[in-house]
């Protein structure tokens, strides 16, 4: 039972495993997960 964590983009609804996202570095917030489809950083884990 080791299901990979799925993440979901709240902008376009894309879901993918943790490794399948871009990383954007924000000068204030640090590393953020970024959707490669729409460029949004509004990406959260989907449990």
Which residues of this chain interact with Zn ion, rule CB under 5 A?
9, 11-12, 14, 35, 37-38, 40
Give the number of C-alpha atoms closer than 13 A to the C-alpha of residue 26, restricted to the C-beta side.
10
Sign, CA dihedral 26-34-43-4, equals: negative
φ/ψ of 36, rounded to 5, equals: -75, -15
For residues 4 and 12, which CB has a smaller minimum distance to Zn ion in the complex?
A: 12
Nearer to Zn ion, 1 or 29 (CB): 29
Residue 4 or residue 10: which is nearer to Zn ion going by CB?
Answer: 10
CB of 26 to Zn ion, least distance (A): 17
């Amino acid at each position: 039972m080791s299901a990979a964590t799925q993440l979901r983009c709240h902008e376009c609804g894309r879901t993918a495993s943790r490794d399948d996202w871009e990383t954007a570095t924000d000068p204030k917030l640090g590393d953020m997960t970024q959707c490669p489809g729409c460029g949004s950083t509004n990406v959260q884990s989907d449990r």
